[in-house]
Amino acid sequence: MGKCILFIMCFLCTMLYAQEEVFSYSNSGLVAKDKFVSPFPNGEFVNITSHVLQKSYGVSSPSGKKYEVKCYKNEGWENEPGDWHYFEILYDGHVILKSEYADGWCYLDDEVKSSLLSFTDAFLYTNLKDDAVVLFFTGIIIMSQPPFLTAVVLKDGKATLVFNEPSYINKIEKNGDAIDFKLQSNTLEYLDSNTPINSPDLHTLILKGGMIYYK
């Protein structure tokens, strides 16, 4: 009986603290996992006439590889909520990744900027391993719903979207040799008495040993 209880406790602890890599390294490049990359709810918008460049940023890898991030706003679109809706990442003058989000990403506020990572006004970034750099973008909040958290890894002149999920960043903190993004994937709803009627759906995005884990 004692061994059975011990086994159950070990199993429950494993399930509670289980973490999973959000991508893998391979000889041909990074391999993202579909389960961590949700599509944007862009819908069909026929009145977008062009993209207007808002800002451009330079990012260098540890070995000195230079990437450029260009953020564009949609022109001819009234009352768009985001600060920009389209970005391109370039290496050696060539576009290696482009992504569009109809609601849009936003500039970082002071609560998201962290001394644990480098940052521009548009994204957080830090080195991983093997000359890889990860960028984190945050989406706009619409109807009090969690904004998209978008992560892109730059490596060997390529860019890979590795994480794209609706998540608030509640906190970024140091945890030993790891950096933890404390995430919340839902919005709390309250009674008139200011008592929550649901529980927060909490997760952690972990940067450790050159990898990104999710639990």
Under DSSP, the state recorded for 34 is G
Q: Which residues of 81-91 are buried (b: 16+ CB within 10 A; e: fewer)?
A: ebbbbbbbbbb
Categorize the per-residue pLDDT at 12 as very low, low, confident or very high, splitting at 50, 70 and 90: very low
pLDDT score for 10: 40
186, pLDDT greater than 90: no
Spell out the domain ranges in the chain.
27-166
| Two structure tokens written together for 31 | 């391999």
How high is the mean pLDDT of the chain? 87
Strand ranges, E, within 42-157: 50-60, 66-75, 84-91, 94-106, 118-119, 124-127, 133-139, 148-155
Q: What is the mean pLDDT of residues 120-147?
A: 93
Please state the pTM of the whole predicted model: 0.87
Strand ranges, E, within 40-93: 50-60, 66-75, 84-91
Task: Report percent pLDDT > 70 for the chain.
Answer: 87
Residue type present at position 31: V
Question: Residue 39 and residue 82: Cα distance in Å, rounded?
Answer: 17
Categorize the per-residue pLDDT at 76 as very low, low, confident or very high, splitting at 50, 70 and 90: low
Q: What is the mean pLDDT of residues 40-47?
A: 72
By mean pLDDT, which of 17-21, 110-114, 146-150 is the weakest?
Answer: 17-21
